[in-house]
Structure 1
């Protein structure tokens, strides 16, 4: 939300591709042009990663389910949703990727 309490995508009325005033909300993160079909995604690109170590000092890794590097080992994490804090994003990503619920978060760097 901006300081007036409006969703940032509400500022866009015209399609950036064809110029039509047919730009409607598609999802919470996107708008779609009813004239040409163009979809604009609001992508803040903030991301998080979880470093989870158990009592035996073993690091939790997951297999990537998508490209790039599908099938390789990685730390759980991913992109934050709009208006999501880093802590909320890492909790959601860990739950989605591992089924584990994060109880405590702290910044390492």
Structure 2
């Protein structure tokens, strides 16, 4: 397998943590990369929602909100990360609380 193919497989695996219901296991060698990827996704989501709030166009981005809610419902890593870092976010927190379910933010 070429270096490029190996890297593609690594990225594919990392995305599964934040797109699927995979959990980070203690001592997982990819923990920091997975958390960084989750942080980037959270930053982008929060930026989109903040921009929509500032521009007063929230009704126009319902599709984005649905996509973000699905991302949280499908990823325990995303829910855990936004719960841990909630003080760093604004608009995404209420959406994440609803999507992640009761008890996720305690």
TM-score of the superposition, structure 2-length normalised? Answer: 0.24
Q: Which structure's relative contact order is higher, taking Cα pairs within 8 Å and 6+ residues apart? A: 2
Comparing both structures, which one devotes a greater share of its residues to strand?
A: 1
Indicate the structure (1 or 2) with the bigger Cα radius of gyration: 1
More helix by proportion, 1 or 2? 2
